[in-house]
Amino acid sequence: MSSRILLIALFSVGLSALAQLALKIGSTSALAVPATANGASTLAALFKAVVANPYIILGFVLYGAGAVTWLLVLSRVELSVAYPFVSVGLVFTLALGALVLNEPMNMTRLAGAGCIIVGVFLVARS
């Protein structure tokens, strides 16, 4: 895999990780909570909360941009080499959760992230 395609793949995966962050923030914000709290959610209330929440909209836009970018990767690389890069999104999401949302980080999570990185490296080199 060329370094250019590698950067595009990581960029695409990074967009998806940022989308997850935006969706998490949006889904826990004051706008989304009333639509899903206390089992009183209706499809209309949920739709209204989603449409009114800029973080959720941002998350969908980022996912779309990541998907379009991913098409470029798939057009240039074998699927069996490209797809493992999706798992790097777990590492990005773990880091964003810890840095932005103050989610816990421990040695087990770091070891898992390290295994993912090593695995993707090995697949990409084959």
* Total tally of structural domains belonging to the chain: 1
Say how many residues make up the chain. Answer: 126
Number of helices (H), then strands (E), belonging to the chain: the values are 7, 0
pLDDT tens, residue by residue, 25-75 = 998 875 555 555 555 556 777 777 778 889 999 999 999 999 999 999 999
Q: How many CB atoms lie within 10 A of CB 121?
A: 11
Do residues 35 and 41 touch, judged by C-beta distance below 8 A? yes
| Structural domain containing residue 106 | 3-125
Instruction: Write down the residue that tokens 């990185």 correspond to.
Output: 117
Query: How confident is the model at residue 35, as a pLDDT?
Result: 54
Query: How confident is the model at residue 46, as a pLDDT?
Result: 73
Query: How confident is the model at residue 38, as a pLDDT?
Result: 55
Query: How confident is the model at residue 40, as a pLDDT?
Result: 52
Q: pLDDT at residue 110 above 60?
A: yes
Query: How confident is the model at residue 29, as a pLDDT?
Result: 77
CA 41/CA 35 separation, integer angstroms: 5
pTM given for the model: 0.83
